[in-house]
Structure 1
Amino acid sequence: MFNLTGKTALITGGSKGIGLAMAEALGKQGANIVITGRGEDALSAAKEQLGFSGIRAEAVQSDVTDRISIESAVAHAVEQFGSLDILVNNAGMNIRKPLVEVEEEDWDRVVDTNLKGIFLAGQAAARQMIRQKRGKIINISSIYGLVGGPNQTSYAASKGGINQLTRVWAEELAPHGIHVNAIAPGYIQTPMTASFLEDKERTQKLIGHTMLGRLGELKDLAGPVVLLASDASNYITGQIISVDGGWSAR
């Protein structure tokens, strides 16, 4: 049910953190992996890491905010492996500032990467999946697409937008045999959150928001992404699955 042998997965922002962890989880279930990112050195290191785990992987330098770039990454995946069965729409960033201090450039950088990038990658993948009459699109959202929080103006707006794209695409693409869902992680210990979590008092407050009394780890996302990528989720679409230790349920 969870076997992905013969499937091909494209993971945007797959060279580190959540993206790389998800690439590894899918690869360990047999999927061919294509990771994308902007940093050539990070991509090379990630590809090598996946290879050490026995995973067949390709790395493509790509910018999700550039339509031609992400379309080329999709084409590369199909050329190398014959199909594109899974998209993990993961590339993202955050600039934490109070509302009155957010610069227009801050807003544009976050929304372009987190929302426009999701749209462009999803559109490119959907065109291929429609031709195949099958596919799984997994958008990576956040608890801040579901709940409020300070200093998250552009980030929360972009993640809320991802949730709505997920619902719209799920209905639109269902007739083509394509499932669309989202994962909304809570605070996961990654390179992206490392400096933010150095504040021990702040970290304890974050832990206090969870029911399980801890922050998330990358391994906590392995099960959800494999579920949504596999035949085990063939009657699940249009859903936002929170992986947050109970944060958003309070």
Structure 2
Amino acid sequence: MERDYSKLFRLDGKHAVVVGAGSGIGRESALALAAQGARVTCADRDLAAAEETVSRGEHLTAYRVDVLDEDAIIRAAAELQDVDVLVFTAATNVRKRILDYTGEEFDRVVALNLRASFDLIRAFGGPMAERGSGSIMGFSSIRATTVEPGQSVYAATKAGLVQLLRTAAAELGPSGVRVNAIAPGVVETPLTAQIKANQAWYDAYAQKGALGRWATPDELAGAVVYLASDASSFVTGSVLHVDGGWTAVDGRFDPPN
């Protein structure tokens, strides 16, 4: 049967859950998935923020979940049945050099960036495998491969997330579930507000990539729709960089002609 390419990115009849849908990349991802026909559950610890996302589109429902609570994730997976697509964006960062880091800060970053991801994959991946289909995507970062002083634990969690997702792809693939990572570059979100407040720091980041600027959250939504849709039916265990060329460009010196 020939594929109908006019519907390649459509998600009609699909149920997507976006964790972290109350702001930033999560919000734009939820809106984009809904625009392609999906029924989207906008999950967030901040219910009011999730409801704000819901007010901006159609086929959207708000749902409160704290992903630091494993039992809450298990309940969510049980209540939000027949999930075809899982997207999770929630993350935190403590920018400190290793010698200045505390054990509490280490645990806090790992708990949200890595342990919560582990719990989400298990809770939602199991039912997907039983149904024989599904797409899971987690947000890694350019910091999974390129680092700078002050990014140690964040970078470690984002690199660890890539390997966690790749392993899930290997284990769930035979059951028809695809699992991928999206690795953004610098994006104007609440997580990067500290950098944006420092003009020199902000400009340095903008100049690092090939496009010479930061991304806005909506520029990540296309990657989410792609990985959720049949357009990526043979894509799993991959890392999709949406970084404006950051990881492709050395950026330290522009040689003369």
TM class by smaller structure? over 0.9
Match of 2:230 in 1: 231
Structure 1 segment 94-173 matched on structure 2, within 5 A: 94-173=93-172
Q: Does 1:240 align with 2:226?
A: no
Runs of at least 5 residues in structure 2 that lack an aligned partner in the other structure: 1-7, 250-257
Give distance in 1, aligned partners of 2:48 and 2:219.
Answer: 26
Give the superposed CA RMSD: 1.1
Match of 2:13 in 1: 6
CA shift at 1:210, angstroms? 0.2
Q: Does 1:23 align with 2:26?
A: no
CA shift at 1:191, angstroms? 2.2
Name the amino acid aligned to 1:71: I
Q: How many residues align?
A: 242
Give distance in 1, aligned partners of 2:201 and 2:191.
Answer: 16
Q: Does 1:61 align with 2:71?
A: no
Name the amino acid aligned to 1:60: Y
Match of 2:50 in 1: 43
Name the amino acid aligned to 1:48: S
Give distance in 2, aligned partners of 1:193 and 1:62.
Answer: 23
- Work out the percentage of aligned pairs sharing the same amino acid: 39
CA contact (8 A) 1:187 1:216 kept: yes
Give distance in 2, aligned partners of 1:148 and 1:193.
Answer: 15
CA contact (8 A) 1:166 1:182 kept: yes
TM-score by length of 2: 0.91
Name the amino acid aligned to 2:69: D
CA contact (8 A) 1:8 1:77 kept: no
CA contact (8 A) 1:92 1:114 kept: yes
Match of 1:217 in 2: 216
Give distance in 1, aligned partners of 2:93 and 2:195.
Answer: 11
Give distance in 2, aligned partners of 1:158 and 1:97.
Answer: 15
Runs of at least 5 residues in structure 1 that lack an aligned partner in the other structure: none
Name the amino acid aligned to 1:125: F
TM-score by length of 1: 0.94
CA contact (8 A) 2:12 2:37 kept: yes
Tell which structure's C-alpha radius of gyration is larger. Answer: 2
